[in-house]
Amino acid sequence: MSGVKDSSRVRPSREPERADPPPGFAVYVHWPFCLSKCPYCDFNSHVRHGGVDEARFVRAYVAEIATTAGRIPGRTVSTIFFGGGTPSLMQPASVATILDVIAQYWTVAPDAEITIEANPTSVEAERFRGFRSAGVNRVSLGVQAFDDAALAALGRTHSVEEALAAVAVARSAFERYSFDLIYARPSQTPAQWRAELGRAIAETAGHLSLYQLTVEPDTPFEALHRAGKLAIPDEAAARELYDVTQETCDRAGLPAYEVSNHARRGDECRHNLIYWRYGEYAGIGPGAHGRLDVAGKRYATAAEKRPEAWLSIVESRGDGLVDNEALQRAAQADEFLLMGLRLTEGIDPRRYAEIAGRPLDLSRIADLMGYGLVEMTPDGRLRVTRSGVPVLDAVVADLAA
Ligand SMILES: C[S@@+](CC[C@H](N)C(=O)[O-])C[C@H]1O[C@@H](n2cnc3c(N)ncnc32)[C@H](O)[C@@H]1O
Ligand code: SF4
């Protein structure tokens, strides 16, 4: 990219007063099963009509936690997140066992954030109090749309009414809850989206995840899209919907703190912040990823994705890892940028320099500033502007090159 070349413009007006505090340590637990597979979804989620041997899986989770803690002992756990798949299909007793074992091997901070993802069906809402008793203190619900026809088109098995009932149960069982919506759906207009967002804001406790529909490879939606039977908004229409999202949420006091996540101040998802701030996290369960700091090196770990194959590997060896790579400094620095620039708070360039062993390229920053895609904050942080967010991948690629 060419453009403004005056690199003096990118010097912070004053040095940051302090480096960012350590992001903390997180544990992610992946439950890979769902009652049905949504046609847009490419998460590691599977349907097992014959049922799942939950007790056997839980024993494997326990073993994998023990093995991981043996590698990184002595950590204080800031956050735990049960994701999926649909972890709300687990029995509360299974969640309790997993939480107890995490607390047995590591120290769980007294104020730890412990989240479970849930589908908003009545069956799952019935378990919310059980999850609460097990120690969960936050729930993230996949509401997806406030429109029954849109829910059906997304292949969801719940109605708006059912989702609202699940939100009400979440509200009574948990102090903190969030829900997900998918926008930029086929033929969705800005006026419709504004109305849906209004309903979401009325129902929220302070956190919303708002995802633009993406057509993922090897999903039924991709086949439909290729066959010309699924028309998603073009770039300009998607941009308009994105702008409606930002304006409506800003006005409601729920600004974006990350590309797709909005919260009232102080109600951000602390677990995901650990990823985006490039903290340390352990991944437990089929297909889970981790970043572990061992003897001065950062390891990128990934577990076998297929649930039953993962189960056999854990049963024979104590963990299900198929990848365990020590990352070079350059790779870590790229990851730090990729994650950190998703955040509205941006990154501390000094931390980049520490990780990479070299500073960011000021002339590239100046170029991107010339295009209005990034900016330096008064306290010396680098962040992507609102115009830069839709082209975030290109911005990161440019800075990382
Ligand atoms: C693992 S899923 C959520 C958990 C739960 N199984 C559910 O569906 O309610 C995480 C979220 O990713 C979002 N998501 C999944 N696939 C998507 C896609 N292709 N485009 C946009 N958002 C997507 C959905 O909002 C979903 O709630
Ligand atoms: S969106 Fe949620 S319920 Fe649907 S297949 Fe993906 S993980 Fe399962």
Name which residue leads in pLDDT, 11 or 109. Answer: 109
SS3 content of the chain, % helix, strand, coil (to 5): 40, 20, 35
Top-confidence residue, 9 or 389? 389
In the predicted model, what is the mean pLDDT of residues 180-198? Answer: 96
- Classify residue 175 by burial, with Cβ atoms within 10 Å: 0-12, 13-18, 19+: exposed
> Is a pLDDT exceeding 70 seen at residue 91?
yes
Range with the poorest average pLDDT among 114-123, 141-150, 292-301, 305-314: 114-123
Q: State the pLDDT at residue 21.
A: 76
CB of 376 closer than 8 Å to CB of 368: no
Q: Which two tokens stand for residue 252?
A: 């409601």
Q: What is the mean pLDDT of residues 77-98?
A: 97
Residues, the chain: 401
Q: Treating both helix axes as pointing N-terminal to C-terminal, what angle do 307-317 and 54-71 enclose, rounded to 10 degrees?
A: 50
177 CA to centre of ligand 2 in angstroms: 18
Q: Mean pLDDT over residues 19-47, rounded?
A: 93
Distances (CA, A) of 313 to 27, 57, 75, 84, 170: 20, 12, 25, 20, 36
User: Distance from CA of residue 208 to its chain's centroid?
Assistant: 12
Residue 10: predicted pLDDT: 38
Structure tokens at 294: 């061992």
* For ligand 2, atom 2: residue with the closest CA: 85
Residue 235 has pLDDT above 70, yes or no: yes
What is the average per-residue pLDDT within 282-308?
98
Of 285, 228, 225, give the one whose Cα is nearest residue 32. Answer: 285
Nearest CA to ligand 2 atom 6: 41
pLDDT digits (tens, 9 = 90+) for 130-186: 999 999 999 999 999 999 999 999 999 999 999 999 999 999 999 999 999 999 999
The answer, yes or no, to whether residue 394 has pLDDT greater than 60, is: yes
- Strands of 34-92 (E only): list them: 76-84
Cα-based distances in Å from 49 to 10, 61, 258:
57, 22, 37
Residue 6 pLDDT greater than 90, yes or no: no
| Whether the Cβ atoms of residue 154 and residue 144 lie closer than 8 Å to each other | yes
C-alpha–C-alpha distance, residues 79 and 281, integer Å: 9
Closest C-alpha among 324, 317, 313 to residue 283: 324
Q: Residues 303, 28: contact at Cβ < 8 Å?
A: no
Closest CA to 300 of 331, 340, 328, 327: 327
E-assigned strands of 32-106? 76-84
Q: How far is the CA of 99 from the centre of ligand 2 (A)?
A: 23
Asked whether residue 9 carries a pLDDT value surpassing 60, the answer given is no
Tell me how far CA of residue 320 lies from CA of 61, 90, 182, 240, 304, in angstroms: 10, 20, 32, 43, 6
State the chain's mean pLDDT as an integer: 93
Element (H, E) at 57: helix 54-71
Residue 181's pLDDT is what?
A: 98
| Residue 19: pLDDT band with limits 50, 70, 90 | low
Sheet bearing 261-263, strands edge to edge = 256-258, 261-263, 207-212, 176-183, 138-144, 107-118, 76-84, 25-31, 280-284, 289-294, 297-303, 321-326
Nearest CA to ligand 1 atom 16: 41
User: Are the C-beta atoms of residues 270 and 282 closer than 8 Å to each other?
Assistant: no
Confidence of residue 4 (pLDDT cuts 50, 70, 90): very low
401 or 346: which leads in pLDDT = 346
Q: Which residues line ligand 2 (CB under 6 A)?
A: 34, 37-38, 41, 43, 45, 84-86, 119, 142
Q: Where are the beta strands (DSSP E) in 213-326?
A: 256-258, 261-263, 280-284, 289-294, 297-303, 321-326
Are 301 and 324 spatial neighbours (Cβ–Cβ below 8 Å)?
yes
Name 269's Cβ contacts closer than 8 Å, sequence gap at least 6.
Answer: 113, 115, 138, 140, 178, 207, 261, 263
Mean pLDDT for the stretch of residues 45-60: 97
Q: Nearest residue CA, atom 27 of ligand 1?
A: 142
Q: Which ligand 2 atom sits closest to the C-alpha of 34?
A: 8
* pLDDT score of 397 more than 80: yes
% residues pLDDT > 70 (the chain): 95
> Which residue bears the tokens 């590591």?
106
Q: Is 113 in the pocket of ligand 1 (CB under 6 A)?
A: no
Tell me the average pLDDT across 274-299.
98
pLDDT band at 345 (very low <50, low <70, confident <90, very high): very high
Looking from the CA of residue 86, the nearest atom of ligand 1 is 6
CB 387 within 8 A of CB 355: no
